[in-house]
Amino acid sequence: MNRRLGIIQSRGLGDLFIALPIAGYYRDQAYDIHWPIAEEFVPTMQKTAPWIRFHPLRVDHTRYFYDTPKQILEEQGCEDIICLYQALSSMPELTDRPEFQITKFDQIKYSEAGVPFLNKWLLKDYITRSAEDEQSLVDKLNPDPNRPIALLHLEGSDFRAEFDRACIPQEYQIIEVKPGYTPNITDWLAVIERAEIIVCIDSVIANIVDQMLLTENRDCYFIPRSHIQLTPVLGGQWHYLDPGLDTRKRITIFR
């Protein structure tokens, strides 16, 4: 029987994708991975990474962040348990770490897990794609094959962004990622790969685009919404859009 590893990171969806290569690193070392997550994300994550045993959590009290996942993992016989949270109000010791003030939250996850941070950009090696479901979404959207695509993702769980769309040439057709088109976020990958312009808020789509190295040969725009310490490290080439809607205020970063 393989050694069992438990991961504590209950939500959100963007954080789960950030941490997925951590689980992959240990899978490659013949660990069985157990991971309790908010029940709303289980269908997507189980489809994306069927090699992980995801345990559904009801988000009904504060214990679901740490105590309940830890109990589940202990009951599953996990010999090793890694907590990937940067900070929790119930665990002040997390913010007492000397690297807390100088390290971004995604770097802390990899540091705590003992996984090289560059592995974050190996996401494509650890996800399972469905060509059929991706094509089904393309068929539903029915993009004009004669016009380039600008893909927008402007709405997160608690945030909606707007921006000056002057950065999108008129000849582009705009497709916006919205709930309801498909239950699984990875079904958007075929559309993402066809897009020549991508505009994303700081959320799961931006993480997927960056971690799968899909910024190459595309114009990619990132709209921040958090303090710099809570904004992930981006490895690709992005334009940062000013949340104040002025597209002239942008900087480009390179890996």
Residue 87 has pLDDT above 90, yes or no: no
Give the residue among 24, 51, 39 at the shortest CA–CA distance from 211: 24
pLDDT, tens digit, 9 for 90 and up, residues 11-66: 899 999 999 999 999 999 999 999 999 999 999 999 999 999 999 999 877 788 99
Q: What is 151-205 written as a DSSP string?
A: EEE-B-SS-B----GGGS-TTSEEEE--TTS-S-GGGGHHHHHH-SEEEEESSHH
Q: Which domains, ranges and CATH numbers included, belong to the chain?
A: 4-125 (3.40.50), 131-253 (3.40.50)
pLDDT band at 250 (very low <50, low <70, confident <90, very high): very low
pLDDT, tens digit, 9 for 90 and up, residues 163-185: 778 889 999 999 999 888 999 99
pLDDT, tens digit, 9 for 90 and up, residues 66-80: 999 999 999 999 999
Residue 132 has pLDDT above 70, yes or no: yes
pLDDT band at 225 (very low <50, low <70, confident <90, very high): confident
Residue 251 has pLDDT above 50, yes or no: no
